[in-house]
Chain A
Amino acid sequence: MRTFRIGGVHPEENKLSHEVATVPAELPKQAVFPLSQHIGAPAKPVVERGQEVKVGTLLAEAGGFVSAPIYSSVSGKVAKIDTVVDATGYRKPAIYINVVGDEWEESIDRSDKLETLAAHPELTPEEIINRVKVAGVTGMGGAGFPTFIKLTPPPTAKATCVIINAVECEPYITSDYRLMMEKSDEIIVGIDLLMKAVKVDKGYIGIECNKPKAIDLFKQKLASRPEIEVVPLQQRYPQGGEKQLVDAVIRRQVPAPPAIPVNVGAVVQNVGTAFAVYEAVMKHKPLFERYVTVTGKKIAHPGNFLVRMGTPMIQLIDACGGMPEGDNKLLAGGPMMGKALTSVEVPVCKGTNSVTVLSGDDAKRKAPQPCIRCAKCVSACPMGLEPYLLAKLSDKEEWGRLEKEMITSCIECGSCQFTCPAHRPLLDNIRIGKTTVMGIIRSRSAKK
């Protein structure tokens, strides 16, 4: 079975909510929409205080080329345009809406009828990309890069295949798995749309072998579709990393930055994005709701929810039995790459695939010991870097040397710190070095 060729670790799975069917989450009383839910410029508000909105009403338009519009997930009245503490821990501008009823924009097709690409010959690649752009679809795996940009590769690169990331290698998270089990037909149409948009006739779905039912389901549905191949993958973190997935599925490695996967022909999209593309293109439904896993060892009833964006996380946790006693760590995302939140009121955004609560010892770090130079971080690094060295050089502020040691290639997956027997905060240090070195590189190229 295929997997990526360098490094990797095996975190405990803890997929507590694997077989819990998705249910719609209750509507919040007040929904909050941060204007930065994606990589790039924040969106610009187009509504005013007191304005009535419906589900699917545009709240904020794209604030630049790399940006995405934001739509309301609820109907009601704009309460205020203020700030909110988001997943980064900072106060960021946001639109607050007081919820009244549940009235949808009429342009949205709310029927369950499956629309196929064959039935819609009017959908040209340009039209698909435009609808994806207008609907505000961004990468659903967490990073939140505007999808339409990934669908328009630079002229120097030529796409040869679409790779669907259905790996879900993060522990705990099951939202992609549930989506695959419950919306397989829609996802497949979504893949058709993505393939048409980037004008390729080959698609792959990479699924880790801890999801045998999803593998079987897609193999069965795609039995007569040889152009879309289901690729079962060995279980290994960080296989869901774009570069690792490309290596695992098509055995090619993306050269060092600024190269991107499409430079080796691959357009990688999350399985959640494929579904969002289907809804955006076929149902005229902007991106305002998504699958979210709510989980944790001390959470009474871990589950999966279809959540309207802007819902505060505490509401989801309460629906699963409430916050456990004592001090907890609340994560947007999983334990390997998720962000620890400073408030339980942080709203669900486009990139929120999971709300994970770590309790007790799981929430705390152990005291670091001296580095014993065991080289386990070097073996674990999926980018072939030397984390012990990068962490040490960052600590000593040797920026020039760090650039030579390729610190900018670090994908911040945390495999090094996960594996370190001495519990050293390797990635904390590496992040400082990486941010500084990237700043130096930017200012150098700006001078030229």
Chain B
Amino acid sequence: MANKLIVSLSPHAHGTDSVEKNMYGVIIALLPALIVSFIYFGLGSAIVCCTSVLACVFFEWAITKFILKRERNTICDGSAILTGLLLGFNLSSNLPIWIILIGALVAIGIGKMTFGGLGCNPFNPALVGRAFLLVSFPVQMTTWPVPGQIGINGYIDAETGATPLAIMKEAIKSGDASVLSKLPDSLSLALGNSGNFGAGSLGEVCALALIIGGIYMIVRKIITWHIPVSILLTVFVFSGLMHLANPIYASPVDVLLSGGLMLGAIFMATDYVTSPMTKKGQLIYGVSIGVLTVAIRYFGAYPEGMSFAILIMNAFTPLINNYCKPKRYGEVVK
């Protein structure tokens, strides 16, 4: 018989979803923020992002081929590009290339491939890279160029400034609420054009662009609302209570719009691999990240708490998965 019959178990149909669609979907969602970063940081942003992406893809390819010796290389699935892009978003736009390369190697090498590659890593690789750089190169990692320097000078010899979070921290340390008056107004924070006191990593300055990306991902069903909304709501409530109790703590709206909160809540905490599997678990995870972020920002050594909060909760994800089960059919009789 010329024609053969193909035999397999059901189901014989498959939806159109794929790993690539999800990964590239997130990358598309990052585009508004990427474009904004080009507008504010110009060449510096382009150098940092390109280096980070290319380095991540290269390291994944090299490790898969030469160390793991796997036949199938996974660089086309978009996950390495995504890690590179997210790592770049967390860096300052004047970071020397060699530091970025180290960050990419740690992110992909230690953060991802050590555990077996895509799907196996317990911690968000981009954040592992960032955390490593932050403790290894504290000076370079905490000088932030102010937005608006788009030429080559913006990369080589940028004028740096204070981030909104540094101002908030200063207010808390000095116990003087008037320091907060240096903060840009909320609209500038949302748009990112907040001048000398609106510095920050190249991906985090424009909250609005990140929110647009988040809405895109929810509409395309790449992520669900549970993690970002629970984080943002918790931060809003917690910092709002702090603000009411003592005006040296900034207003909750400013807290939401500054620093890596939006980037973290929408793009980093929602990383599939390192976040819980059930809706209930995701809410617990989101609320915990929110509480930890505000706690680190207000009471910790660093002005920024988002990335550490996410990394800490990444560690709790297996535990959350163990205890949070979905609502089983039959449990809700009537």
Contact = CB atoms under 8 A, between A and B. Distances in A.
Interface in A319-359: 323, 325-331, 333, 335-344, 358
Interface in A122-152: none
A382 B328 CA distance: 9
Given A372-B272, A418-B14, A253 B117 contact: no
Contacts of B18: 421-423
B174 interface: no
Interface in B139-194: none
A5 to B, nearest CB: 7
Contacts of B77: 369
A234 to B, nearest CB: 17
Given A325-B3, A328-B6, A378-B278, A427 B330 contact: no
A113 interface: no
Contacts of B328: 256, 383-385, 406, 409
B282 to A, nearest CB: 8
B305 to A, nearest CB: 25
Contact of A373 (B79, B117, B272, B330): B272
B13 A11 contact: yes
A102 B283 CA distance: 67
B11 interface: yes
Interface in B5-40: 5-15, 17-19, 21-22
A115 B333 CA distance: 39
Contacts of B11: 335-337, 413-415, 417-418, 427
A373 B277 contact: yes
A388 B117 contact: no
A414 to B, nearest CB: 3
B273 A427 contact: no
A89 B7 contact: yes
A94 interface: no
A370 interface: yes
B329 interface: yes
Interface in B117-142: 117-120
Contacts of A343: 5
A343 B3 CA distance: 11
Interface in A375-391: 375-376, 378-379, 381-386, 388-389
B4 interface: yes
Most buried by B among A171, A375, A427: A375
Interface stretch (A29-37, A76-84, A213-221, A360-368): A360-368
Contacts of B96: none
A338 B331 contact: no
Contacts of A423: 14, 18
B119 to A, nearest CB: 4
Interface in A406-430: 406, 409, 412-415, 417-423, 425, 427-428
B69 interface: no
Contacts, number: 170
A340 B6 CA distance: 8
Nearest to B333: A253
B144 to A, nearest CB: 33
Contact of A340 (B9, B13, B22): B9
A251 interface: yes
Contacts of A378: 277-278, 326
B6 A363 contact: yes
Most buried by B among A6, A342, A373, A406: A373
A254 B330 contact: yes
A421 B329 contact: no
B13 A419 contact: no
Contacts of A421: 17-19, 21-22
Contacts of B8: 329, 340, 365
A247 to B, nearest CB: 8
B301 interface: no
B26 to A, nearest CB: 11
A246 to B, nearest CB: 10
A101 interface: no
Given A243-B329, A382-B329, 19 more contacts: A5-B332, A247-B329, A325-B3, A328-B5, A340-B6, A341-B5, A358-B12, A369-B118, A373-B272, A373-B275, A373-B277, A384-B328, A386-B326, A412-B10, A421-B21, A422-B19, A423-B18, A427-B9, A428-B9
7 contacts: A9-B15, A372-B272, A373-B275, A384-B329, A417-B11, A425-B9, A431-B9
Interface of A: 5-6, 9, 11-12, 89, 171, 243, 247, 251-256, 259, 264, 323, 325-331, 333, 335-344, 358, 362-366, 369-376, 378-379, 381-386, 388-389, 406, 409, 412-415, 417-423, 425, 427-428, 431
